[in-house]
Amino acid sequence: MKDGFLTLGIETSCDETSAAVLKGGDKLLSNVISSQIDVHKLFGGVVPEVAARKHVEVINTVIDEALEKGGVRLNDIDLIAVTAGPGLAISLVVGIAAAKTISYSMNIPAIGVNHLEGHIMANMLSDKEHGFPAVCLLVSGGHTEIISIAGPGEYSRLGGTVDDAAGEAFDKVSRLLGLGYPGGPVIQSASEKGDAAKITFPRPMLREPNFNFSFSGLKTAVLNFTKQNDIGDENAKISVNDVAVAFQEAVVDVLTQKTIRAAIETGAGTVWLAGGVAANRPLRESFKTECEKNGIHFSMPDFLLCTDNAGMIARTGYEIFRKGGKGLELSPQPVCPL
């Protein structure tokens, strides 16, 4: 690999259009993210066709901006890394078509990247110690999995959710509490005004001797609680903020305890957090505290690298290419395990 190797990352798997320029393995020169949250908010969730149209509208501008902010021209790029899956097929198509067009016209190699691996590899941009074996909690809108990592590209799944993903639970509970979309950030800010001592929700599967999770029952417990109790505004005996903080605490508790146990039982010296829910402040704090207590090295991606972004895709593509790998096929793969 030449010095100053430049990778252009492109990500359009869901509702964020993103492009990034990575120099070498760890210098992110730019990471432009155009979010569609304001549009999807009106519908209470991501509408795939709307998402795809928005990607088409902004993809060129986002790539231009990433190049400009990175201080490079398209001619300078050595590799294009694009998300090939998992994600919404009609959204993935937009990023892949852009990558293939640039690749073909400029004669630059392009490789497909697994979005989930991207989330995990975001840690390599933030954690310079890279201690392996590691255990990673991958926790996003579509996935909640505990993964054992022997090294980059060497993953084995220890367990995961048997029903809803944690991010999905945040989104559904937020909707039923009337707090809006996306659920994670709004529940987090409502929680800051809530009293955690008022309600205790169950900790599903916490004591089971495996690394699986279940969040659908917790969501039902919240629903039943709201039906059986008078939930009011901030001045009421039980406020919506109290319900939010109790729900968030239950999720954080289960995610933290099971991941730490996975690290201890597998002898991993490092724990990583990855995915959109990794942006949750109480979750980050809880992981930090418990890792410190157990003498485990802990790292998490910088806040902006947790939710969908092209920086993590560029980092993953660079790693695959460096080792002579081909990456995923350049066609949308809506279902695409690690």
What number of CA atoms fall less than 13 Å from residue 139's CA on the CB side?
A: 30
**Shortest distance (Å) from residue 307 CB to ligand KG4:** 4
**Shortest distance (Å) from residue 318 CB to ligand KG4:** 20
- Give residue 177's region: left, alpha or beta (phi > 0; psi -120 to 50): alpha
Query: Please, which residue, 242 or 308, has the CB nearer to Zn ion?
Result: 308
- The DSSP annotation for 140-205 comes to -SS-EEEEEEEETTEEEEEEEBSSS-HHHHHHHHHHHTT--SSHHHHHHHHHTTS-TTS-----TT
Choices 44-52, 122-130, 143-151, 302-310 (CB under 5 A): range interacting with Zn ion: 302-310
| 247-259 as b/e: b if 16+ CB within 10 A | bbbbbbbbbbebb
CA end-to-end span of the chain, whole Å?
A: 26
Choices 35-43, 45-53, 290-298, 308-316 (CB under 5 A): range interacting with Zn ion: 308-316
CA dist 59 and 10 (Å) reads 9
- Report the partner that residue 188 touches, choosing among Zn ion, ligand KG4, none (CB closer than 5 to 8 A by kind): ligand KG4
- Report the partner that residue 122 touches, choosing among ligand KG4, Zn ion, none (CB closer than 5 to 8 A by kind): none
- Report the partner that residue 164 touches, choosing among Zn ion, ligand KG4, none (CB closer than 5 to 8 A by kind): none
- Report the partner that residue 142 touches, choosing among Zn ion, ligand KG4, none (CB closer than 5 to 8 A by kind): ligand KG4
**Shortest distance (Å) from residue 265 CB to ligand KG4:** 26
**Shortest distance (Å) from residue 310 CB to ligand KG4:** 12
Cis previous bond, 209, omega within 30? no
- The DSSP annotation for 277-300 comes to GGG-HHHHHHHHHHHHHTT-EEE-
Query: Please, which residue, 261 or 284, has the CB nearer to Zn ion?
Result: 284
**Shortest distance (Å) from residue 171 CB to ligand KG4:** 5
**Shortest distance (Å) from residue 56 CB to ligand KG4:** 20
* Residues in 92-151 at the binding interface with Zn ion, rule: CB under 5 A: 140
The amino acid at residue 116 is L
| φ, ψ at 18 (rounded to 5°) | -140, 145
- Report the partner that residue 277 touches, choosing among ligand KG4, Zn ion, none (CB closer than 5 to 8 A by kind): ligand KG4
Query: Please, which residue, 164 or 308, has the CB nearer to Zn ion?
Result: 308
**Shortest distance (Å) from residue 162 CB to ligand KG4:** 18
- For 305, the token pair is 């690298």
Answer yes or no whether residue 308 interacts with Zn ion by CB under 5 A: yes
Residue with tokens 């939930």: 231
- Report the partner that residue 85 touches, choosing among ligand KG4, Zn ion, none (CB closer than 5 to 8 A by kind): none
Residues lying near ligand KG4 in the complex (CB under 6 A): 14, 140-142, 167, 170-171, 182-185, 188, 275-277, 279-280, 307-308
Do residues 124 and 315 touch, judged by C-beta distance below 8 A? yes
Task: Using CB under 5 A, list all residues that contact Zn ion.
Answer: 140, 308
